[in-house]
Amino acid sequence: MTMFETAKNRAKLKSSGVIDSRTLENSHKRLREIIRPGMTILDVGCGTGAITSGIAKVVGVEGKVVGMDNNPELIAKAREKYKDTPGLTFLEGDIYNLPFYNEFDVVTSARVLQWLAQPQEALKNMVKATKLGGKVIVLDYNHVKIKWEPEVPKSMKYFYDAFLRWRSESGMDNTIADKLSGMFKAVGLEEVKITAQHEESMRQDKDFQTHIAIWAGVASVKGAQMVSEGFIEEKQREVAECDYKKWIEEEAKRQFMYLLAAEGVKV
Ligand SMILES: C[S@@+](CC[C@H](N)C(=O)[O-])C[C@H]1O[C@@H](n2cnc3c(N)ncnc32)[C@H](O)[C@@H]1O
């Protein structure tokens, strides 16, 4: 299997509480500031369409929104859930092969480039789909800069480090958020701007459980993949998941995920 195919397998996502609970307002704030009624928007790697449906509400009936994802199950869910939203279409398709040329006012991709072995190629495709004078906006993490308070149990720290190695071994960049500015300039985008969009969640917040549980989900789903690929022992995975869930119940106070939005204009 090539590195490209390995990354594709490892990126495969099931619908999850976390992605389904995201909204444009709470999970793609910089995009919300940029878009206006009547605009045409492409959201690549839209998952089950939670953020995309919010985009459609803002651009309204005069606008047009396309959500695209390479996972047919997620696209089927998005179509079913948002079938009554006007101006919104969901398409199955790959970010490396977008069938659009100079077509959208804004092309966005949130939390997707982090899962790719060739993010620069993906970005070139996004630029191609954007109108002259339009904007590309990417939202992504630097997973090395995550912070938990207090520290997670040792078993989970071991799992997380293995998870980052498992990702980088297939060509994914764990620090991609901090590379976006250079990547944008390299594809000729101008007026490049970076905005901090960090996700900070405290125990007293009402959605704390949803945010903090993301890593229990990763230990379960991605962990199973890591075990089947011989990357970590099942026992280590199981202990990490179990210790982490106990830590959530008894100790967890704060989680900080480092997230940046990069935007640039196509000239
Ligand atoms: C972490 S989810 C993010 C979903 C949503 N954008 C959000 O911010 O909640 C990453 C999404 O990218 C999709 N994806 C991964 N590789 C892709 C590719 N090559 N082309 C299109 N979509 C891709 C996955 O199927 C998944 O739905």
177, 166 Cβ separation under 8 angstroms: no
Q: Is 70 in the pocket of ligand 1 (CB under 6 A)?
A: yes
The Cα–Cα gap between 106 and 129 comes to 9
Q: What is the pLDDT of residue 210?
A: 87
Across 70-198, the runs of DSSP E, i.e. the strands, are 88-92, 104-110, 130-149, 190-196
Q: Which residues are paired to 254 by β-bridges?
A: 149, 202
**Number of CB atoms found within 10 A of residue 26's CB:** 13
Range of the domain at 252: 3-265
Rounded average pLDDT per 10-residue block, the chain, 267 residues: 75 74 96 98 98 98 97 97 96 98 98 98 98 98 98 98 96 98 98 98 93 94 94 97 97 98 98
Distance 45 CA to ligand 1 centre (A): 3
Among the atoms of ligand 1, which is closest to the Cα of residue 116?
A: 16
User: Sign of torsion, CA 110 116 120 123?
Assistant: negative
Q: Is 125 in the pocket of ligand 1 (CB under 6 A)?
A: no
Q: Is 73 in the pocket of ligand 1 (CB under 6 A)?
A: no
Distance 174 CA to ligand 1 centre (A): 16
34, 148 Cβ separation under 8 angstroms: no
Considering the entire predicted model, what is its pTM? 0.95
Q: What is the pLDDT of residue 16?
A: 67
Q: What is the pLDDT of residue 9?
A: 75
Q: What is the DSSP string of 161-195?
A: HHHHHHHHHTT--TTGGGGHHHHHHHTT-EEEEEE
Read off the CATH number of the domain in which 235 is found.
3.40.50.150
* 109-146 pLDDT, tens digit each: 999 999 999 999 999 999 999 999 999 999 999 999 99
Considering its fold, how many domains does the chain have in total? 1
The Cα–Cα gap between 90 and 86 comes to 12
Half-sphere exposure in the Cβ direction for 51 (13 Å, CA): 28
* 82-97 pLDDT, tens digit each: 999 999 999 999 999 9
The Cα–Cα gap between 194 and 177 comes to 10
Q: What is the pLDDT of residue 13?
A: 66
* 17-36 pLDDT, tens digit each: 788 889 999 999 999 999 99
Q: What is the pLDDT of residue 87?
A: 95
Distance 95 CA to ligand 1 centre (A): 9
From 115, 124, 221, the mutation candidate for ligand 1 (largest count of ligand atoms within 8 A of CB) is 115
